[in-house]
Structure 1
Amino acid sequence: MKYNFDEEVERRATGCVKWDESPSADVIPLWVADMDFKAAPAILDAVKRRAAHGVFGYTVVEEDYYEAIISWFQRRHKWSIQREEILYTTGVVPAMSVAIKALTMPGEKVLILSPDYNCFFSSVRNNGCEVLETALKRVDDTFEVDWADFEVKCSDEKTTVFLLCNPHNPCGRVWTKAELERMNDICLKHSVKVVSDEIHCELIMPGYKFQPFAAVNDKCRRNSVILNSPSKSFNIAGLQTANIICAQPEWRHRLDRAININEVCDLNPFGPVALKAAYNESEEWIDELNQYLWKNYCFLRDFIEERLPQWKLCRLEGTYLPWVDISAMGITAQQLCARLLNEAKVWINPGTMYGPQTGEGYVRFNIATQRSRLEEALKRIANIL
């Protein structure tokens, strides 16, 4: 490999949420979704060049920013985006709140596929709406949509938005074109708009292909708002740059108003240069990263089969966040995670973070770390279990 993902980077004492919020210095954190790898060399060089200028005032987003986005998604995902469809903001979670504010009225319902990313719940509620869950069905080692229940929930007269996670966090699904088309057909039938969080779209495992929701067909394009960012895939979340992509001019006007109402309308000087370096110069890096993440997943799979047979690892199609069934242990996810943190000094997330009912019996790992750290964490877990 050209890039050394095995290089251990010391992140403690850097103001790092993942490492510096640990209760003790001997904890290995495999929880919050950021990676322990340095960003791609092109991104590091771009940020260094910008920092060398020495003045960090208010930032203008220039045309080459939009060109980088358009070129990347056309070349990598065959998705044609028009310049006027792109609105920038500070992050995908703020973008989510913007979309909910723009497309709903307080008291309406927002449908999600549960278990789901925990900020889905808070963003919906913070904007005065009600979370409506349709539970994903476990089928062998993966999850599928319960189509009958999905349609029932869409048909609720108070349901106005379907908030989709594509690829899905935490279940690891990369939704197929046929599944996305079926979601949209049901949503259109019941006048439900689709907001698709696609922040993990470049983190795809071998044998799977990411399908942008808006590129499925023209009906999907016209009935959707897409939330995206290079932050998760290129490990630049701290640079706070994301994009809302919407083909509907009326919706886009409302989104733009909500961006300004929420005061998430300005980017810092480093975000745009990092995005351009990611999309214009770092494609080889992301491809090698995915190979490394896949090998980490295979290592986790083999370790669980050999040392932790009471656990069942779910299939990982996308993201770096494997979903593990621990229900055979006969304890709650919260109890297991507390024990692992206190006794094994390994920090993982209980599934109940992603749905109090649908997430029980599961835990979520973050395998985006050096394999040596992952191995040490798993050995610690096995030693106490």
Structure 2
Amino acid sequence: MGKYDFDRVIERRGTSSLKYDFGMQRMGRTDLLPLWVADMDFALPDEIIGDIKNRVDHGIFGYTDPDEEYNEAVKRWFKDRHNLDIKDEWNTVVPGVVYSIAMAIRAVTYEGDSVIIQEPVYYPFKETILLNKRKCINNQLVYKNGHYEIDFDDFEKKIKEHNVKLFLLCSPHNPVGRVWTREELTRLGDICLKHNVTIFADEIHSDFIYPGYKHISFLSLGEKYLKSLMVGTSPSKTFNIAGLQVANILIPHKTLRDEFRRENEAAGYSQPNVLGLTATISCFNKGRKWVDELKEYLKGNLDYIRDYLKENIPEVKLIEPEGTYLIWLDFSEVTGDYHDLKHLIVEEAKLWLDAGIIFGRETALFERINIAASRVVIKTAMESLERAISGRRSLSCGTQDS
């Protein structure tokens, strides 16, 4: 039995929660069980809440910058958890990783330039490229035998054909759950070096890796990659503090870092959220055991879902995740129509998941489910899904019998 209680169900409605309170605005209804956006249902431990309360009790919330205590907490976390030696000057603190992607796009490309991604991938990648009037080039991941791989030949071909300037890498990958190997990352890096492509590696999920796998940061691959590398990180996923608006963008090379910071300044952003800084220091200094127990709990949720699907809904295929708490499910044996799948999930199962089509056109028959919730919630979701699919089986059998 661990120190922390992840089974406790916390009522989040009425807190302006994007996940729970905006069903009517986003889905036209309020009766769905939400397991969509990457937002955990677990409260921070008391020792971290206490530090935030102490800062609130001070009563003054003026302009604040990252100080030595902040820098030391960041460096210690990356050294202890990922064996990375981070230098203070590498870091630019911004509100979030998606914001930093927009700044990176503006820093190293011009309107009309090409940026390459690997769908199915976190949908703000494509949105941010297009909203900044750049061309989005897709190197489609290859889905084979329930596993995703990179088509390196297509990756290089697309870079050459479209004169790609920037590569947005998702590592670990959201939503397919891949934790890229050193060999895969090195091969991507070498292609980008060969063709003068800058790399932005979104490593926000790097603290959620399942047993048997290891996150390899692009920062660890070697000196030759650092000149054209930006790495997006944030405690917001690890500790569920996205609402406190803090991310650490690590850019080793000064020229590239200066270009990024100029765009940040041009966007009008300067001092970070004071409570975000406070929370980050406390989380990185005091949150190790909480994260370790959280990962065990998430593994338990994954094990439960894997077994439940196998025993009760074998038509739904789990894409075995290597990392993240976002699980990718293949419904292609349930239905061949996207609109029918949407009806099944929303109208019949009464679930609010992330539809696969938002991650790319080729994954319209997939759904992404967030398993960072109490076990009883996960159990309810699986039972709801089973009832919906069982009802369809019964109708099918009845039609055949008649």
TM-score by length of 2: 0.93
Residue in structure 2 matched with residue 8 of structure 1 by the alignment: 9
Measured against aligned partners, the alpha-carbon deviations of 1:98-154 in whole angstroms (never above 9, x if no partner) come to 111101111111111110100001111122211100111113222110111111112
1:198 aligns with 2:203: yes
Measured against aligned partners, the alpha-carbon deviations of 1:343-382 in whole angstroms (never above 9, x if no partner) come to 322111110110122x222110100000101101111111
Residue in structure 2 matched with residue 348 of structure 1 by the alignment: 353
The whole-number CA distance in structure 2 between the counterparts of 1:269 and 1:197 is: 24
1:335 aligns with 2:340: yes
Residue in structure 2 matched with residue 366 of structure 1 by the alignment: 370
The whole-number CA distance in structure 1 between the counterparts of 2:107 and 2:329 is: 36
The whole-number CA distance in structure 1 between the counterparts of 2:254 and 2:266 is: 18
Is the Cα–Cα contact under 8 Å of residues 335 and 341 in structure 2 kept in the other structure?
A: no
The whole-number CA distance in structure 2 between the counterparts of 1:277 and 1:334 is: 45
- Quick one: structure 1 residues 121 and 69, their matched pair in 2 at CA, closer, same or farther if it must change by over 3 Å? same
Code of the aligned partner of 1:126: L
The whole-number CA distance in structure 1 between the counterparts of 2:290 and 2:342 is: 33
- CA drift of 1:25 comes to 4.5
Residue in structure 1 matched with residue 37 of structure 2 by the alignment: 32
What SS does the aligned partner of 2:55 have? helix
Measured against aligned partners, the alpha-carbon deviations of 1:192-231 in whole angstroms (never above 9, x if no partner) come to 1100011111011111111111111112223210011000
The whole-number CA distance in structure 2 between the counterparts of 1:334 and 1:231 is: 33
Is the Cα–Cα contact under 8 Å of residues 40 and 234 in structure 1 kept in the other structure?
A: no
Is the Cα–Cα contact under 8 Å of residues 189 and 225 in structure 2 kept in the other structure?
A: yes
- CA drift of 1:311 comes to 1.0
1:52 aligns with 2:79: no
The whole-number CA distance in structure 1 between the counterparts of 2:161 and 2:268 is: 32
What is the root-mean-square deviation in Å for CA atoms of aligned residues? 1.3
Residue in structure 2 matched with residue 64 of structure 1 by the alignment: 69
- Quick one: structure 1 residues 110 and 382, their matched pair in 2 at CA, closer, same or farther if it must change by over 3 Å? same
Deviation larger for 74-83 or 29-38: 74-83
Higher alpha-carbon Rg: 2
1:382 aligns with 2:386: yes
TM-score by length of 1: 0.97
Structure 2 residue ranges without an equivalent (≥5):
390-402
Deviation larger for 70-79 or 116-125: 70-79
What SS does the aligned partner of 2:373 have? coil
Residue in structure 2 matched with residue 228 of structure 1 by the alignment: 233
What SS does the aligned partner of 2:139 have? strand
- Quick one: structure 1 residues 79 and 31, their matched pair in 2 at CA, closer, same or farther if it must change by over 3 Å? same
Code of the aligned partner of 2:372: A
Residue in structure 2 matched with residue 241 of structure 1 by the alignment: 246
Residue in structure 2 matched with residue 19 of structure 1 by the alignment: 20
Measured against aligned partners, the alpha-carbon deviations of 1:255-283 in whole angstroms (never above 9, x if no partner) come to 11111112233311200011111111111
- CA drift of 1:42 comes to 3.1
Q: Would you say how many aligned residue pairs link Structure 1 and Structure 2?
A: 384
Is the Cα–Cα contact under 8 Å of residues 181 and 220 in structure 1 kept in the other structure?
A: no
* 2:292 equivalent among 268, 287, 292: 287
- CA drift of 1:157 comes to 4.7
How do 1:93-172 residues align onto structure 2 when only pairs under 5 Å count?
93-172=98-177
What SS does the aligned partner of 1:225 have? strand
The whole-number CA distance in structure 2 between the counterparts of 1:55 and 1:341 is: 45
Structure 1 residue ranges without an equivalent (≥5):
none
Measured against aligned partners, the alpha-carbon deviations of 1:21-69 in whole angstroms (never above 9, x if no partner) come to 1244442101011000002333211111111112222222212111111
Give the % identical residues.
Answer: 39
